Amino acid sequence: MSRDQQSFVSGDKSSGWNPLQLDAYADYLANLSVTNPVVAMENIQTLDGQLLLAQSELLNPNSIAKLKNKILARPLANSIQITTLISPEDLLQHLLDIIRSTEYFQSLAERKHPLSSLEPVCAMLSRLPLVQQFLTVMAAQMPDLYQRTLCVSLWSLYIAQEMRLPVQDASDVFWAALVHDVGMLHLNPHILNKTDDLSADDWAHVQSHVDISNKILMMVPELSPATITAVAEHHERCDGTGYPFAKVESELSLLGQVLAVADAMVGIYFNRFKA
């Protein structure tokens, strides 16, 4: 058993999340499969070799039920293929749709941030098949979160460009923004959709999305360390009031601070004007 597998089996102490056990993400894949087939690309089996789902089988509620309460040999995301994935061209088009439908983005694009700067950063998606999978599931199953994620990505890129950060840093923070909330896909939807006040346990569950995002992105070696760090810091605050580690400004990366500002701006906008 590899070191990664050992840590997966024991689970993560801070969030309790274990990528070898099924959670809401499996149900999202089963739902998606109705319109966009999701297929097992290899035999899906337990750690001790019990076959649960054969290669080429379709994911649906029945096949997912066979996997529940088992410890898988590999994370489900690594064993499946979605038939139609969001492409770099789709991502670019989704960003352009937001810019053209939003007055302030339109104005920024005309005055300072040419649309041509988006194409090269979106092109990287073709080298990130797991991220393609996560964004495809998010767009179909959590469309509000996907729209917010696109807005955070635009703001992160624009802030980095405004600060005249190197092109690589601007690309890194754009990608950090696109993947910063993938952990949300693994949270209990009943807690996420609660309309009354969250209990302390509920709130801890929601906060665990940062740790889950980080654990997931460790499986995407194409993402830079700066990108991963920014994701880990996206709910930290310079005055130490953030989470999960209550870091202060001197402990935070610049890209983490850029992403946190962009995420907070979009959160305020959506909560005030789109709720």
Which 169-188 residues touch Fe ion, going by CB under 5 A? 181
**Phi and psi torsions of 40, nearest 5°:** -70, 125
Bridge-based pairing state of the strands 44-45 and 80-82: unpaired
| 8 Å CB contact between 184 and 263 | no
> To the nearest whole angstrom, how small is the minimum distance from the Cβ of residue 114 to Fe ion?
29
> To the nearest whole angstrom, how small is the minimum distance from the Cβ of residue 230 to Fe ion?
12
Q: How far is CA 163 from CA 157, 158, 231, in A?
A: 10, 8, 19
Q: How far is CA 120 from CA 37, 123, 239, 254, in A?
A: 29, 5, 35, 22
SS3 category, 239? strand
Size of the site for Fe ion (CB under 5 A): 1
Residue 86 or 259: the one with the smaller Cβ distance to Fe ion is 259
Residue 73 or 185: the one with the smaller Cβ distance to Fe ion is 185
d(CA 209, CA 228): 14
DSSP H or E run through 147: helix 143-162
Which 181-240 residues touch Fe ion, going by CB under 5 A? 181
d(CA 66, CA 49): 14
> To the nearest whole angstrom, how small is the minimum distance from the Cβ of residue 174 to Fe ion?
16
Residue 44 or 184: the one with the smaller Cβ distance to Fe ion is 184
Residue 172 or 181: the one with the smaller Cβ distance to Fe ion is 181
- Residue in 3, 5, 4 with CA at minimum distance from that of residue 71: 5
Which 56-95 residues touch Fe ion, going by CB under 5 A? none
> To the nearest whole angstrom, how small is the minimum distance from the Cβ of residue 258 to Fe ion?
14
Residue 38 or 176: the one with the smaller Cβ distance to Fe ion is 176
> To the nearest whole angstrom, how small is the minimum distance from the Cβ of residue 42 to Fe ion?
31
> To the nearest whole angstrom, how small is the minimum distance from the Cβ of residue 248 to Fe ion?
19
Give the residue at shortest CB distance from Fe ion.
181
Residue 172 or 233: the one with the smaller Cβ distance to Fe ion is 233
Residues that bind Fe ion (CB under 5 A): 181
